[in-house]
Structure 1
Amino acid sequence: MPEGPSIVILREAAAGFAGRKVLRVGGNSTQDIGRMAGRKVLGVHSWGKHFLLAFDGFFLRIHFLLFGSYRINERRDTPPRLSLGFSAGEELNFYACSVRFVDGTPGDVYDWSGDVMNPHWSRSRARRKLKLRPQALAADALLDQDVFAGVDNIIKNEVLHRIRVHPESRIGALPPRKLSELIDQAREYSFDFLSWKRAFVLRQHYQVHTKTVCPRDGCRLSYRKHLGQARRRAFFCEACQRLYAEGADGDSAGTDA
């Protein structure tokens, strides 16, 4: 599933289509995609893992699900879910994705302060939201798009390793400093991800995701195929990622799991 930084790269690559008229619409989507024909793209945006094309009165939302992809000015061998043609033979093609129309403008619908890649990201709002989720696992909290829009499994695993927090730690049990680290690194690592992906070296920087040995202490990493309510893959180090859990008296307790 493409994470927020990958959608930012798509937004930047497609920015040149803003202000241009859609001359051709095709694809096997069951949505009324023909409504875009002859319409001008008013803006190209992203929010978290959503790619957005704004038109007058509505916008198109693309979510790439688990296996979605796109091509700009080229095509795959498989039929596209949606294909938009422009002048000079240029086109946007989307595959294996969710296509949805939403009335209004993106600004009417999305809270930009919740997108970790957005200039309007608010760490204070993220902290307030997390305070309302004391029993949430750290792994689930990072994947909560209402708090950290754009963060997905790679960023989750890498952030928790970077701040030395076990994925099954409870948000309410994290010391204030660790909670701050989790919030700040959700954003900082996302921009590291963006930089590495632009340079085509992202995988070279994985510390734990899909790895077997912790680069920090040499211990064998733990792997869970389905961890937390989100049921996502988790790679973590039992030796250096501390488990923070609520004690019997409600106080925070840490164990070197």
Structure 2
Amino acid sequence: MPEGNQIHRFAEEHAAVFAGKRVHVDSPNGGFADAEVLDGHKLIRVDAIGKHLGYRFGRDLILHVHLGMYGDFKQGKMPLPPVKGALRLRIYTKSDWMELRGGTDTSIFTDEKWQLLRDRLGPDPLIPGSDPKPAFEKIAKRNTSIGALLMDQSVFAGIGNIYRAELLFRARIHPLRPGKDVNLASLKSIWKDAQTLMSAGVKDTRYVTTSAKDRPHPRGPVREEEERYVYRRHGKPCFICGTKIERAELATRTVYWCPNCQKK
């Protein structure tokens, strides 16, 4: 599933090309029945919060997109490519096009519905001025594991499986530790780290979370196998202590950690 950094990157890319222009909107395979409602309207801006995109065409006219596990965009210059596969949505002008395949939701939201969505989501590390205090307060009251809470979009919006694993390793916190047992200083550190890592992830399509000093090859470009500390590195030695990385199922997803660096 795309995490918040990818969603914010899509928002920036699509706004740069289409915002301020009248666009054509269609759904070649009928996956978005209301495409004709938006066709010919000017796209005002593209908003991103957590894992949700909002293409604002006017008052009470917002195209909501949630990519889910397998949704993805492609973008290019005209002419339009041939229609292939499960092409849910196209937005295009005389010079550019964007295609959406898959996705959990593609629907028109009113302003009220968009606000209700925002209200039920936690603070987004990528939105300037987001206040993390409500999230800290929720976590402090919960016996639920911190690993599950970080994936709860009502706690923090946009953090997914990769960042969940990497943020907890960098904070040296075991993913199964109860939220109420994570001190405030650690939560503040996780929040600031999320802002830094995810902001870098908006610019870089890779998820690089390791520091150069911790990599087996600290000089030169980051090697693919050294981009992350624990995510999908189960059975391999920790870059810090050499202990084998472990994994387990948590909240329907696989979580990874170093049993030595991240003690319960």
Q: TM-score, normalized by length of structure 1?
A: 0.83
What is aligned with 2:45? 43
What is aligned with 1:96? 102
Map 1:19-98 to 2 at 5 A.
19-28=20-29, 29-56=31-58, 57-73=60-76, 75=81, 77-88=84-95, 90-97=96-103, 98=105
* DSSP-derived class of the 1:182 partner: helix
After TM superposition, give the deviation of residue 199 of structure 1 in Å.
9.5
Quote the Cα distance in structure 2 between the aligned partners of 1:48 and 1:20.
25
Q: Which runs of 5+ in 1 are unaligned?
A: 244-257
- Whether 1:121 aligns to 2:122 is no
Name the aligned partner's letter for residue 243 of structure 2.
C
Map 1:173-188 to 2 at 5 A.
173-188=181-196
Work out the percentage of aligned pairs sharing the same amino acid.
Answer: 24
Name the aligned partner's letter for residue 239 of structure 1.
N
Which 10-residue stretch deviates more, 6-15 or 72-81?
A: 72-81
- Whether 1:166 aligns to 2:174 is yes
* DSSP-derived class of the 1:87 partner: coil
Quote the Cα distance in structure 1 between the aligned partners of 2:68 and 2:223.
20
**Any conservation in 2 of the 1:3–1:150 contact (CA below 8 Å)?**
yes
**Any conservation in 2 of the 1:158–1:206 contact (CA below 8 Å)?**
yes
- Whether 1:131 aligns to 2:140 is yes
Which 10-residue stretch deviates more, 231-240 or 71-80?
A: 71-80
**Any conservation in 1 of the 2:122–2:153 contact (CA below 8 Å)?**
no
Deviations 1:182-203 (A, max 9, x none): 3333333322433442799695
| CA 1:206–1:77: 2 relative to 1, 3 Å | farther
* DSSP-derived class of the 1:115 partner: coil
* DSSP-derived class of the 2:42 partner: coil
What is aligned with 1:221? 245
What is aligned with 1:247? none
What is aligned with 1:207? 229
After TM superposition, give the deviation of residue 30 of structure 1 in Å.
4.5
**Any conservation in 2 of the 1:26–1:84 contact (CA below 8 Å)?**
no
Name the aligned partner's letter for residue 19 of structure 1.
G
What is aligned with 1:238? 259
After TM superposition, give the deviation of residue 38 of structure 1 in Å.
1.5
Which 10-residue stretch deviates more, 148-157 or 72-81?
A: 72-81
Quote the Cα distance in structure 1 between the aligned partners of 2:172 and 2:155.
20
* DSSP-derived class of the 2:154 partner: coil
After TM superposition, give the deviation of residue 77 of structure 1 in Å.
4.2
Name the aligned partner's letter for residue 17 of structure 1.
F
Deviations 1:159-180 (A, max 9, x none): 0110011110001112332233
Deviations 1:55-74 (A, max 9, x none): 12221111111111101126
After TM superposition, give the deviation of residue 11 of structure 1 in Å.
1.1
Which 10-residue stretch deviates more, 4-13 or 181-190?
A: 181-190
| CA 1:126–1:195: 2 relative to 1, 3 Å | same
* DSSP-derived class of the 2:21 partner: coil
Q: Which runs of 5+ in 2 are unaligned?
A: 209-221
RMSD: 2.4
What is aligned with 1:2? 2
* DSSP-derived class of the 2:74 partner: strand
What is aligned with 2:211? none
Deviations 1:4-55 (A, max 9, x none): 0111111111113111112241233143222111211111111111122011
| CA 1:55–1:196: 2 relative to 1, 3 Å | closer
Quote the Cα distance in structure 2 between the aligned partners of 1:169 and 1:160.
10
What is aligned with 1:254? none
What is aligned with 2:217? none
Name the aligned partner's letter for residue 110 of structure 1.
R
Q: TM-score, normalized by length of structure 2?
A: 0.81
